[in-house]
A and B are shown apart, each in its own frame.
Chain A
Amino acid sequence: MFRSLMIATAMCLSAPALAKTITVEAGADAQERLQEALILAEPGDVVELGKGRFDLTDGLSLDVDNVTVKGQGSDQSVLNFAGQLGAGEGLLVTSDNVTLRDFAVEDSKGDGIKSKGADQIIYHAIRVEWTGGPKATNGAYGIYPVESKNVLVQDSTVRGASDAGIYVGQSDNIIVRRNTAVENVAGIEIENSYNAEVTENLATRNTGGILVFDLPNLLQMGGHNVLVARNAVIDNNTDNFAPEGNIVAGVPAGTGVMVMANRDVVVTENAIINNGTSAVMVVAYTQKFDDASYDPTARNVTVAKNIYSHSGFAPDVEGGQLLAQAFGGSLPAILYDGLGAGFNLVDDVPALDLGLTKAGQSFADAQPKLYQRPPAVAIKELKAITLPASMEERLK
């Protein structure tokens, strides 16, 4: 008898608290009611947002593991930050195993939704938007997971970010799929990250469609193993509206896909259409840096089996117009700086080789010529990204 009581007690202690749904409706005091729900939620709980517009006065944050924040649809439950007085983002997540789905964040003063050190995070059917369209005064990033392992961003839409719509930074094991990035400076950007798949997204009317970057002087450097596949990268010709100083402020308008200072990147089976400077750029980091452990070049980049149409007709680079004339009116679809080892251009399209001899040279030092491709080599297959089964399970 005593023993079975002991066991019963032990079971009670070890069993997780019963998961519950905390519903928060729009209306007066939305800030306090929603923030309190996000703080008092317990692992396993769902914080459910009602329909309507939540007018928030400050940033919101979630720091409880294993919580789902769920709205009634990204056009139905809207977190509006137009009246925000403080905090660097609309919603900040700092806990693990969090699912964000079916709601919108509008007009936050800084970033839209940031998740930092938040492993196994899911963004599903989220909308982050600056409703006034592209403006330098918009926040930097729309969907912004950073320093996280196992990241899934899918079926979401971001519009108007003055840096990157979807930005994954200093993270590992990442899938970004079936999203729409429109009218941002960078549509989708993978930066200082390892093992990422960017697939089946639509990037349109951004300054640059999809960027794969690595920057010096950060805790995680050496970005690698990035697949950019089956995306539609169309008409990314919006004037660059990023505030100066930021790395994306240097991205030319009319950039389709840009790979900078990464290794083992495969750009394949994309439709890259109507981008005025270049369909695909493979280049080094050009700015001065003081970091011996940083490699600025783009190495082992494969460009294969993409569909191209109409690019290089309005090059937004120094001397671009003259260069375009020399090439018969428009720049070749591919722009390669001549620096990174292992560039493997499989596609039968012309490429411009800038003929640079070291990273950091300016465009003015270029010795541009048509790229003389070495014999094609086999396409390097990247290992497929697998997320923990529990993440897919959460979406069922």
Chain B
Amino acid sequence: MRLLAGAGAICLLAVAAHADRPVPVADDVISGVVMPRNLSDYNFFQDAGGTKPNKGVTLYRLNSPLFTDYADKFRYIYVPAGKTLSVNPDNPEGMLQFPVGSAIIKSFGYEMDGKPHLLETRVLLHRADGWLALPYVWNEEQTEATLKVAGKRIPITFTDPSGKERSISYAVPNKNQCKECHSLSEAVVPIGPKLRNLTHDSKDILASNGILNGVTGTEMVMPDFRDDGMPLADRARAYLDANCAHCHNGEGSASNSGLFLTYEEKEPVRFGVGKRPVAAGRGSGGHEFSIKPGHPEESIMIYRLKSLDPGVAMPEVGRSLVHDEGVALLSEWIDSL
């Protein structure tokens, strides 16, 4: 805690010294050893409300985003001056490679009274000893977000895209829960910015900002699961990749389940077809298989996506509502198998 306060003091000095011109992103804070107490310590944004990205902070979008209780999300990549992202030569369509000193920033909120209202901002810092994931919670005045390592529950009411009013206990993940999803062989890693899931526009912007090199334009692209012009199977697998595969892969938090839902998984039993549960307990809902072809109503996958019960619901964190559109898509796909 003493270290936290120290970092805060350093940042205050930095702000004071440059009060008359834009303050650059605080590279020393990103790369430091402490857990910064306030989001403003990083200078990722020009404004106190966290809406105007600073120089070097680039907004990006995903083809198929993760469902988080219909929250609006704003994603940014920061790469230190003079450095660039690179394409992984072993898996060109997979996760981009970030230089040390990079950060990924993701804000979550809902539109309230016609304007965005932020609840939390999660940051992933690429430090010399690996990635660190930290959750920051916004104050009601929208002037600062502060570190909440133990997470927080926030009661909110909002209107979903179909016009339905929803009241939920929104869960800001704690630091360990950040890692539950963001882990590969027990190390923290990014999840979202896989090249195949970046929108065309985002790749263009990152390239024109000089942050991203080596994209040939011939890489395989994962579709937007909402795009019904795309093949059903590809949309379903894209949905599973974005919503489930960060845990459900051979090195992730759900490795012991044997259910692997990455877009590149080719083995049907591995992505659930005819796959019996291992440690599902009552999560099985009395069904025998993760996916029973032609029978979404008898498939464990659908049962768990439709559940709000903590011992049953999947994903385990980050969802307190049923994603009706996702359930409909996967049901249609399983029905077609």
- Are chains A and B native binding partners rather than an unrelated pairing? yes
Give A contacts to B, CB under 8 Å: 31-33, 35-36, 38-40, 57-59, 61-63, 84-88, 92, 94, 108-111, 116-117, 136-141, 144, 146-147, 162-163, 167, 169-170, 215, 217-219, 242-247, 287, 290-291
Residues of B within 8 A of A217 (CB): 258, 269-270, 275-276
Q: Would A87 and B316 count as touching, CB distance under 8 A?
A: yes
Residues of A within 8 A of B286 (CB): 243-245
19 CB < 8 A contacts A-B: A32-B150, A38-B176, A39-B150, A39-B175, A39-B176, A58-B151, A85-B169, A87-B177, A87-B316, A94-B253, A109-B311, A110-B312, A146-B256, A218-B256, A219-B255, A245-B287, A245-B288, A246-B281, A247-B276
- Determine how close the nearest CB of chain A comes to the CB of B149; give it in whole angstroms: 5
Write the chain A residue with the least CB distance to B309.
A109
Write the chain B residue with the least CB distance to A137.
B282
Residues of B within 8 A of A36 (CB): 149-150
- Determine how close the nearest CB of chain B comes to the CB of A311; give it in whole angstroms: 28
Our pick among A85, A88, A170, A245 for the contact of B320 (Cβ within 8 Å) is A85
Q: Would B176 and A94 count as touching, CB distance under 8 A?
A: yes
> Given A108-B311, A215-B278, A245-B277, list of 11 further CB < 8 A pairs?
A39-B176, A57-B153, A58-B171, A61-B176, A85-B310, A111-B311, A141-B281, A215-B276, A245-B280, A245-B286, A287-B276
Q: How far is the CA of A170 from the CA of B310 in the complex (A)?
A: 24
- Determine how close the nearest CB of chain B comes to the CB of A243; give it in whole angstroms: 5
B219 at the interface (CB under 8 A from A): no
- Determine how close the nearest CB of chain A comes to the CB of B261; give it in whole angstroms: 14
Chain A: interface secondary structure?
A: loop
B248 at the interface (CB under 8 A from A): no
CB-defined interface of B239-276 with A at 8 Å, one 1/0 digit per residue? 00000000000100101101000000000011000111
- Determine how close the nearest CB of chain A comes to the CB of B316; give it in whole angstroms: 4
B residues 311-328 near A (Cβ < 8 Å) are 311-312, 316-317, 320
Q: Would A109 and B280 count as touching, CB distance under 8 A?
A: no
9 closest residue pairs by CB, A with B: A140-B281, A245-B284, A110-B311, A109-B311, A61-B176, A109-B310, A244-B286, A35-B150, A36-B150
Q: How far is the CA of A254 from the CA of B258 in the complex (A)?
A: 30
**A86-B310 CB under 8 A given contacts A246-B284, A290-B274:** yes
Residues of A within 8 A of B312 (CB): 110
Q: How far is the CA of A38 from the CA of B174 in the complex (A)?
A: 11
Q: Would A61 and B281 count as touching, CB distance under 8 A?
A: no
Q: How far is the CA of A390 from the CA of B18 in the complex (A)?
A: 54
- Determine how close the nearest CB of chain B comes to the CB of A178; give it in whole angstroms: 25
- Determine how close the nearest CB of chain A comes to the CB of B273; give it in whole angstroms: 10
Residues of B within 8 A of A94 (CB): 176, 179-180, 183, 186, 253
Residues of B within 8 A of A215 (CB): 276, 278
Q: How far is the CA of A94 from the CA of B179 in the complex (A)?
A: 10
Write the chain B residue with the least CB distance to A117.
B186
Q: Would B256 and A244 count as touching, CB distance under 8 A?
A: no
Q: Would B149 and A116 count as touching, CB distance under 8 A?
A: no
Residues of A within 8 A of B277 (CB): 245-246
Chain B: interface secondary structure?
A: loop
Residues of B within 8 A of A218 (CB): 256, 258, 278
Q: How far is the CA of A245 from the CA of B276 in the complex (A)?
A: 7
Residues of A within 8 A of B317 (CB): 86-87
**A140-B283 CB under 8 A given contacts A35-B150, A61-B177, A290-B269:** yes
Give B contacts to A, CB under 8 Å: 149-153, 169, 171, 174-177, 179-180, 183, 186, 250, 253, 255-256, 258, 269-270, 274-289, 300, 309-312, 316-317, 320
Q: How far is the CA of A35 from the CA of B258 in the complex (A)?
A: 29
Q: Would A85 and B171 count as touching, CB distance under 8 A?
A: yes
Q: Would A141 and B174 count as touching, CB distance under 8 A?
A: no
- Determine how close the nearest CB of chain B comes to the CB of A303; give it in whole angstroms: 27
Residues of B within 8 A of A162 (CB): 281-282
Q: How far is the CA of A140 from the CA of B280 in the complex (A)?
A: 7
Our pick among B258, B269, B284 for the contact of A243 (Cβ within 8 Å) is B284
Write the chain A residue with the least CB distance to B188.
A63
**A219-B256 CB under 8 A given contacts A63-B176, A245-B300:** yes
Q: How far is the CA of A57 from the CA of B320 in the complex (A)?
A: 13
Write the chain A residue with the least CB distance to B171.
A86
Of B176, B180, B253, B269, most buried by chain A (CB within 10 Å of CB) is B176
Write the chain B residue with the least CB distance to A138.
B282
Write the chain A residue with the least CB distance to B275.
A217
Q: Would A244 and B169 count as touching, CB distance under 8 A?
A: no
Residues of A within 8 A of B284 (CB): 243-246
Q: How far is the CA of A140 from the CA of B284 in the complex (A)?
A: 10
Q: Would A219 and B258 count as touching, CB distance under 8 A?
A: yes
Q: Would A35 and B174 count as touching, CB distance under 8 A?
A: yes
Write the chain A residue with the least CB distance to B179.
A63
Q: How far is the CA of A219 from the CA of B214 in the complex (A)?
A: 35
Residues of A within 8 A of B150 (CB): 31-33, 35-36, 39
- Determine how close the nearest CB of chain A comes to the CB of B183; give it in whole angstroms: 8
- Determine how close the nearest CB of chain A comes to the CB of B122; give it in whole angstroms: 15
Q: How far is the CA of A63 from the CA of B182 in the complex (A)?
A: 13
Our pick among A85, A144, A147 for the contact of B255 (Cβ within 8 Å) is A147
